[in-house]
Amino acid sequence: MPTTRGPGKRKTKSPTQATASTSSTQSTQSSQPPKKRSKQQTNNKNKDDGSLIEAVTEAVMSKLSPKLDELFQKSASSAKNDESSSDDSSDEDEIFESGSGRSEIASAISQLVTQDGPRKKTRTLAEPRTRESNYRSQLRDRIDVLMNKSLAPSTKTTYIRAWKKYIDFHKRVTAKTRSKVFPVTSTRLSSFIAHLSLENYASATITTMVSAISYYHKMCNKTDPADSFLIRKILKGLLKASPSLDSRLPISEKILAKLIGVLPLLFTSKYEITLMTAMFSLAYHAFLRLSEFTTGGLASHALEFNMVKIMKKSIIVAFKDYKHNVSTTPFRLHIKRSLLSKICAVRLMKEYVEFRKRVLTDNNQLFILNDGSPVTRQYFCKHLEVAVCANNLEKSKYTSHSFRIGSSTDLITKYKFSEEQVAKMGRWKIKAVKRYIRVNAM
């Protein structure tokens, strides 16, 4: 062991003190005044103590180091796996959320709910990453297309209108606090339902507005306020407190004959008389919705000229697009010649088609005016109202939907068709057809 001479005794030094000892020897042998030499010796002692602590620390760490290295490696490996899993999940979430956020209905509602106040600027779901693959972009675009196809245009318009109504209500009740519009709590939604009820909205309309709010929360992966026990019970109570009553009356075969009978008194043009007669008759026999033979509404599925095939004793109407349709195969409805010649769709449609062929137009819609323009819903409803009033009937009770109600009621009560048969012919869901049967009204 290396040694150093002290004032009166020999002292053994550890390896870690070698450097300090060397400097101590040199300091002792140097020619310094006695007082300064004593102070220097004190400093050297402190250095020796520090070196001893460092030596002990190194010895302890040398034993712990392998174990710590093992723990650090396991921790790093686990963190790497978690990060990799998180990245994969976030990538999948971003593909989905980007698509859902860019859908037309979600984008429109998002603009409404963010207009209420300033928001922290963040990367919107509609902004793609700058370094992503083309395939990832194609996935998002495809999600957009599928999401936009999931709702009918009329439903999108209704949902946006419902959100505008809710935002107006929100501003009214939070004028002082200025709380956020979105997300909506179940408590706030219950207040909104009560507000609509006080304004005498029908229960069906309120339910539709709640569906609009629920839809956007689901699109944004937020908690659905409508899926709470509170909201379900309030909606159930709403139906009991103010049940929706459909006051529309059916246009039966007898009333249809009366409506057709007054048309020559309402029009001077032979073409318009033939047009309206054919429209009344086909609307009854084919269970037509207003959007299926007129234009100008939120959604138009208007029949085209080549969708109707007129034969000697029957008509075949091919419906390519209609409400609730999820099939690409057209639905074909066969209409046979009626024993009541005055309302027979086969005879009346033949007469109309002969007049229509003389009109020079590029319009493919089935029902057009003599100037080639399509028949709008306003035009049809206006003249239906006039014909109803001319027969001393209550105009508020007879609408374009009364043709569907009357035809389904006649088939079940008079011709003994089953509800399943009528539902298929009228392109209804089986549960919906029950609401159209008006035995008492007949």
| Per-residue pLDDT at 299 | 55
| Per-residue pLDDT at 328 | 74
Question: What's the rounded mean pLDDT across residues 186-213?
Answer: 93
Question: What's the rounded mean pLDDT across residues 77-96?
Answer: 48
pLDDT at 186 > cutoff 90: yes
pLDDT at 178 > cutoff 80: no
Q: Do residue 281 and residue 417 come from a single domain?
A: yes
SS3 60: helix
pLDDT at 130 > cutoff 70: no
| Per-residue pLDDT at 27 | 43
Cα(93)–Cα(19) distance, rounded to whole angstroms? 62
pLDDT at 96 > cutoff 90: no
Q: Could you tell me if 208 and 162 are in contact, meaning their C-beta atoms sit under 8 angstroms apart?
A: yes
Of the three residues 184, 214, 243, the one that is the final residue of a domain is 243
Instruction: Kindly state whether residue 85 falls inside one of the protein's structural domains.
Output: no
Q: Could you tell me if 5 and 15 are in contact, meaning their C-beta atoms sit under 8 angstroms apart?
A: no
Beta partners for residue 365, in sequence order: 304
pLDDT at 136 > cutoff 50: yes
Q: Could you tell me if 374 and 381 are in contact, meaning their C-beta atoms sit under 8 angstroms apart?
A: no
CB count in 10 Å sphere of residue 145: 11
| Per-residue pLDDT at 71 | 52
Lowest mean pLDDT among 109-118, 291-300, 351-360, 375-384: 109-118
Instruction: Kindly state whether residue 55 falls inside one of the protein's structural domains.
Output: yes
Q: Which residues contact 18 (CB under 8 A, 6 or more apart)?
A: 2
Instruction: Kindly state whether residue 145 falls inside one of the protein's structural domains.
Output: yes
- pLDDT > 90: percent of the chain: 44
SS3 418: coil
Q: Do residue 39 and residue 178 come from a single domain?
A: no
pLDDT at 282 > cutoff 80: yes
What length does the chain have? 442
| Per-residue pLDDT at 73 | 59
Q: Do residue 261 and residue 362 come from a single domain?
A: yes
SS3 327: coil
Instruction: Kindly state whether residue 341 falls inside one of the protein's structural domains.
Output: yes
Q: Which domain holds residue 72?
A: 3-76
Instruction: Kindly state whether residue 116 falls inside one of the protein's structural domains.
Output: yes
- Amino acid found at 138: Q
Instruction: Give tens-digit pLDDT for 353-383.
Output: 999 998 888 888 999 999 999 999 999 999 9
Which comes out higher in pLDDT, residue 21 or 177? 177
User: What's the whole-number average pLDDT of the chain?
Assistant: 78
SS3 12: strand
Q: Could you tell me if 104 and 57 are in contact, meaning their C-beta atoms sit under 8 angstroms apart?
A: no
Cα–Cα distances (Å) from 84 to 78, 135, 140, 168, in that order, read 10, 21, 22, 45
Cα(427)–Cα(287) distance, rounded to whole angstroms? 8
| Per-residue pLDDT at 278 | 97
Q: Do residue 161 and residue 208 come from a single domain?
A: yes
Cα(429)–Cα(427) distance, rounded to whole angstroms? 7
Q: Do residue 63 and residue 115 come from a single domain?
A: no
Question: What's the rounded mean pLDDT across residues 341-348?
Answer: 94
Instruction: Kindly state whether residue 275 falls inside one of the protein's structural domains.
Output: yes
Of the three residues 224, 243, 262, the one that is the final residue of a domain is 243
Q: Do residue 217 and residue 311 come from a single domain?
A: no
Cα(281)–Cα(233) distance, rounded to whole angstroms? 44
CATH at 263 = 1.10.443.10
Q: Do residue 193 and residue 170 come from a single domain?
A: yes
| Per-residue pLDDT at 304 | 92
Count of domains observed in the chain: 3
pLDDT at 7 > cutoff 50: no
- Amino acid found at 215: Y
| Four-point Cα dihedral 414, 415, 420, 423, nearest 10 | -70
What's the first-to-final CA gap in the chain, in angstroms? 122
| Per-residue pLDDT at 4 | 46
Instruction: Kindly state whether residue 88 falls inside one of the protein's structural domains.
Output: no
pLDDT at 412 > cutoff 60: yes
Instruction: Kindly state whether residue 89 falls inside one of the protein's structural domains.
Output: no
pLDDT at 45 > cutoff 70: no
Strands 3-5 and 314-319: unpaired
Q: Do residue 25 and residue 56 come from a single domain?
A: yes
Q: Which of 121-130, 234-243, 340-349 has the highest mean pLDDT?
A: 340-349
Cα(287)–Cα(281) distance, rounded to whole angstroms? 10
Residue with tokens 């709008």: 376
| Per-residue pLDDT at 397 | 92
| Per-residue pLDDT at 216 | 92
The pair of structure tokens assigned to 162 is 């419902």
Cα–Cα distances (Å) from 253 to 135, 409, 421, 433, in that order, read 59, 10, 19, 19
Of the three residues 180, 210, 243, the one that is the final residue of a domain is 243
Which comes out higher in pLDDT, residue 69 or 134? 134
Burial class (CB in 10 A: 0-12, 13-18, 19+), 243: exposed
| Per-residue pLDDT at 21 | 46
Cα(84)–Cα(90) distance, rounded to whole angstroms? 10
Cα(406)–Cα(253) distance, rounded to whole angstroms? 8
Q: At what angle do helices 104-113 and 153-173 cross, to 10 degrees?
A: 10
Angle subtended at Cα 187 by Cα 183 and Cα 190, rounded to the nearest 5 degrees:
105
| Per-residue pLDDT at 85 | 46
